[in-house]
């Protein structure tokens, strides 16, 4: 498949970037080329080297205990293919240690799992299941800082502690020739709240003790050292249920035109910098099993935060109850999950209904974009420690309040997200 990767969305790169307004993207499996507009520019008197965007290599693994990656016996037992998330390859330390991480749109730092993350009683191959370990005491370039809270997903009750420090960080596997930066912020984590570590995409600086000594994040380091053209990025989570499995895509400083269809919606960053990727969900709908008519799954428009750090979709209780009625879901209050038994799974597969999220910049009217999720996007498997045995589930969560309304990685299987931190908008 031909793919064209375009430079970051800074005004410096008018000749490489579509001149149309930035737009929210719906995936449709087709290759699209943005419209171009003629640009007249003054000839420069000095040569300026503009770096190319960086395409981060996928790990070629489908994994996560909420997707999840399953070993062959588990897949055979559940009679499923790879229902999981596409991770990405990174190297930390000197000598380099390979780890696999999920891109985290809300995070600013890189987290990797420590060996303490697989204590006695953990499942076999725990290290591999958690994306491999980072051992700071085996890195010659590790500079320890201290233990801090991650200050992430506090509203969802998912904040954890990390052993923070600085080390050399490289994008991709050894031999991929990805960019390497020294003294990057790295946190070692052990808690199983996040089964794999994360690579933070948000370019905000990190403050450890005071606001007077901000530490530059990896994205800003890349821009400062002229390794990417801007601190924009683009990401989609991948869709293992499509074709022969479509891996995720992560581009730093640009976007991949083969991954999206153009739309006409641009979203300004929300004023709260910790919830910058905020959208208005005007409606959520599916089709009736009786006559094929549209069935509303949302009582009223609402705002939600797009966040790839977490896998689920958090909606108000009344919306979750509409999903329950439409799909026969039953909430398990012990596991806090919508578990799906074999009978319901067969019914939902045969029905093959889709769910349409209509997004806009305001509650009614204006330009909108439809992001359509087939049932395959919701047909996931929970593993240890979420459940004792591998169990299918529907990745919907009951939100306790409006600060928890979130569109996680499940949503980003069918949406291509571009964030421009120089123009402060996203698509």
Confidence grade of residue 110 (pLDDT, cut at 50, 70, 90):
very high
What is the number of other CB atoms lying within 10 angstroms of the CB of residue 208? 12
In this predicted structure, the answer to whether residue 3 has a pLDDT above a threshold of 50 is no
Q: How confident is the model at residue 49 (pLDDT cuts 50, 70, 90)?
A: confident
Q: b/e per residue, 137-174, with b = 16+ CB within 10 A?
A: eebebbeebeeeebebbebbeeebebbbbbbbbbbbbe
Comparing 20-29, 46-55, 85-94, 227-236, which segment has the lowest mean pLDDT? 20-29
pTM: 0.85
> How high is the pLDDT of residue 290?
75
Q: Mean pLDDT over residues 67-95, rounded?
A: 57
Could you tell me which residue, 212 or 56, shows the higher pLDDT?
Answer: 56
Q: How far apart are CA 160 and CA 40, in angstroms?
A: 51
pLDDT band at 42 (very low <50, low <70, confident <90, very high): low
Query: What was the pLDDT predicted at 12?
Result: 29
Pairing of strands 278-287, 302-306: antiparallel
* Mean pLDDT score across all residues of the chain: 86
Q: How many angstroms separate the CA atoms of 200 and 313, rounded? A: 20
Q: Is 186 exposed, middle or buried (0-12, 13-18, 19+ CB in 10 A)?
A: buried
CA distance linking residue 396 with residue 387, whole number of Å: 16
CA angle 263, 264, 265 (to 5 degrees): 105
pLDDT score at 243: 82
- The CA distance from 62 to 77, in Å, is 18
Mean pLDDT of all residues in 64-69: 54
The stretch 402-416 carries a mean pLDDT of 96
């Amino acid at each position: 498949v031909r793919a064209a990767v375009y430079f970051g969305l800074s005004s410096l790169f008018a000749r490489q970037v579509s001149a149309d307004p930035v737009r929210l993207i719906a995936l449709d499996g087709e290759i699209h080329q943005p419209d171009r507009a003629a640009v007249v520019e003054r000839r420069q008197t000095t040569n300026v080297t503009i770096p190319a965007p960086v395409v981060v290599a996928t790990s070629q693994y489908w994994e996560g205990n909420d997707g999840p990656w399953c070993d062959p016996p588990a897949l055979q037992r559940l009679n499923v293919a790879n229902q999981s998330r596409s991770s990405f390859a990174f190297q930390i330390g000197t000598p380099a240690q390979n780890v696999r991480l999920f891109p985290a749109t809300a995070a600013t730092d890189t987290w990797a799992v420590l060996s303490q993350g697989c204590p006695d009683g953990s499942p076999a191959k725990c290290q591999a299941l958690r994306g491999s370990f980072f051992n700071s005491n085996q890195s010659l370039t590790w500079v320890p800082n201290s233990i801090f809270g991650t200050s992430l997903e506090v509203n969802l009750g998912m904040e954890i502690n990390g052993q923070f420090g600085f080390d050399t960080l490289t994008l991709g596997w050894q031999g991929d020739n990805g960019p390497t930066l020294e003294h990057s912020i790295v946190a070692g984590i052990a808690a199983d709240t996040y089964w794999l570590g994360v690579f933070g995409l948000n370019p905000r600086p990190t403050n450890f003790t005071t606001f007077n000594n901000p530490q530059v994040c990896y994205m800003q380091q890349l821009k400062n050292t002229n390794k990417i053209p801007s601190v924009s990025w683009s990401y989609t989570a991948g869709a293992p249920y499509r074709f022969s499995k479509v891996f995720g895509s992560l581009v730093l400083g640009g976007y991949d035109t083969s991954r999206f269809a153009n739309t006409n919606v641009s979203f300004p960053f929300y004023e709260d910098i910790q919830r910058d990727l905020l959208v208005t969900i005007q409606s959520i709908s599916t089709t009736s099993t009786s006559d094929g008519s549209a069935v509303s799954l949302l009582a009223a428009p609402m705002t939600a935060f797009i966040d790839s750090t977490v896998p689920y979709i958090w909606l108000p209780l009344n919306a979750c109850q509409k999903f329950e009625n439409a799909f026969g879901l039953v909430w398990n209050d012990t596991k806090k999950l919508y578990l799906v038994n074999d009978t319901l799974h067969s019914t939902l597969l045969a029905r093959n209904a889709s769910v349409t999220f209509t997004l806009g910049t305001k509650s009614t009217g204006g330009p909108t974009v439809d992001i359509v999720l087939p049932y395959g996007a919701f047909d996931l498997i929970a593993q240890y420690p979420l459940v004792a045995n591998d169990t299918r589930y529907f990745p919907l969560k009951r939100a306790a309040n409006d600060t928890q309304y979130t569109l996680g990685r499940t949503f980003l299987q069918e949406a291509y997200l571009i964030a421009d931190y120089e123009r402060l908008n996203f698509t």
